[in-house]
A = this chain, B = another copy of it.
Amino acid sequence: MRIGVLTAGGDCPGLNAVIRSVVHRAIAEHGDEVIGFEDGFKGLLDGRFRKLDLDAVSGILARGGTILGSARLERARLREACENAKDFSREHGIDVLIPIGGEGTLTAARMLSDAGLPVVGVPKTIDNDISSTDRTFGFDTAVGVATEAIDRLKTTAESHQRVMVVEVMGRHAGWIALESGMAGGAHGICLPERAFDPADLVKMVEERFARGKKFAVICVAEGAHPAEGSMNYQKGAIDQFGHERFAGIGTALAHELERRLGKEARPVILGHVQRGGTPTAYDRVLATRFGWHAVEAAHRGEFGRMTALRGTDIEMVPLADAITELKRVPEDRMDEAESVF
């Protein structure tokens, strides 16, 4: 069998572990040949790929980033890809394509699959917001980085008698904020899933100070937003690169709290440190298992599906299920995080 692999979308610790696992399993068990397309779907369209043998993936298990590169694909070119989907197999001589990516990538994967290309997907997102899988690799690393930051900020907040607002990633789902907030022992957690009222945070901080705990750390997902009318907040204008130019919610909330409390409140925006670098052991294992099972699924001819963690098992689920709905933090998980002082 000849297997094509590509990585698409943003950086995510564990991408290289998947690539390595695909290559190892394919060669060791099946005597397959594996090629890697460069810069995501672009490489597929432009025919830029290289052979991936054992040497090519030596030493990459613990390395962040992706040895294959990654890039966004414009919608127009995606349509072009779908029109030629059937030809790719022949052109590059591949029997199956294993795209590793997030929601956008899996949607494209499904379109290519529907258009006739044999595809086995591997889900990837540090945000953990893909349905059908209990967890995605990269998430544990992101939570680990954010937790270590909160650990450090707590001692600083305490010795400065200060409120710290930590903004973590999570535009549409608050998983990173939820778990790093719980793990770091944040005193308040704001998620995109539930509008917050700054008055509640003010109350919490004042109660802490009254108890002699003269500091507080609040963990905010970048996609969190205040309840209607609770606070003056306007999301920033979007620049040509698709990024906001003005203060995000972390900064806005810190200023609001400072104003209301009359105490120092400082924002810390963790940003891209959450999505790069060495993956945790958890993410390496999950990524390795995903790669292994993707190869097995390919050999069983289970196309149009992707790997998913269900309990302790890796199962193959329809790509369609993964992309219809974002996996958001449910109410009961938010409740669990609330009894924190």
Contacts and interface: CB of A to CB of B under 8 A. Distances in A.
Interface of A: 7, 10-11, 15, 21, 24-25, 27-29, 54, 58, 61-66, 69-71, 134-135, 140, 143-149, 151-161, 164, 179-180, 182-185, 211, 213, 241, 243, 258, 264, 266-273, 275-278, 280-282, 284-285, 288-289, 292-293, 310-312, 336, 338-341
A58 B341 CA distance: 9
A264 B241 contact: yes
A276 B155 contact: yes
A338 to B, nearest CB: 8
Contacts of A258: 241
Contacts of A271: 266-269
A180 B282 CA distance: 9
A235 B292 CA distance: 35
Nearest to A240: B258
- Of all A-B residue pairs in the complex, the 7 with the closest CB atoms, nearest first, are A152-B277, A64-B155, A65-B155, A156-B276, A183-B281, A28-B339, A152-B276
Contacts of A264: 241, 243
A154 B276 contact: yes
Contacts of A341: 24, 28, 54
A194 to B, nearest CB: 18
B11 A156 contact: yes
Given A147-B284, A156-B276, A272-B156, A292 B70 contact: no
Contacts of A211: 54
A126 to B, nearest CB: 10
Contacts of A10: 156, 159-160
A104 to B, nearest CB: 14
Residue picked from A15, A158, A266, most chain B C-beta under 10 Å:
A158
Given A10-B159, A268-B271, 7 more contacts: A62-B151, A65-B156, A69-B161, A156-B276, A183-B281, A267-B271, A280-B280
Contacts of A143: 281-282, 285
A134 B311 contact: yes
Nearest to A21: B339
A82 B134 CA distance: 40
A7 B157 CA distance: 15
Nearest to A140: B282
A164 to B, nearest CB: 7
Contacts of A154: 64-65, 276-277
Given A24-B339, A155-B11, A268 B276 contact: no
A181 to B, nearest CB: 10
Contacts of A21: 339
A159 to B, nearest CB: 4
A61 B180 CA distance: 12
A129 B184 CA distance: 27
B285 A179 contact: yes
25 contacts: A10-B159, A24-B339, A24-B341, A25-B339, A28-B341, A62-B184, A64-B154, A64-B155, A64-B156, A65-B155, A134-B312, A135-B312, A148-B277, A149-B273, A151-B277, A152-B275, A153-B272, A164-B272, A183-B285, A183-B288, A243-B264, A268-B271, A269-B271, A280-B282, A292-B336
A62 B140 contact: no
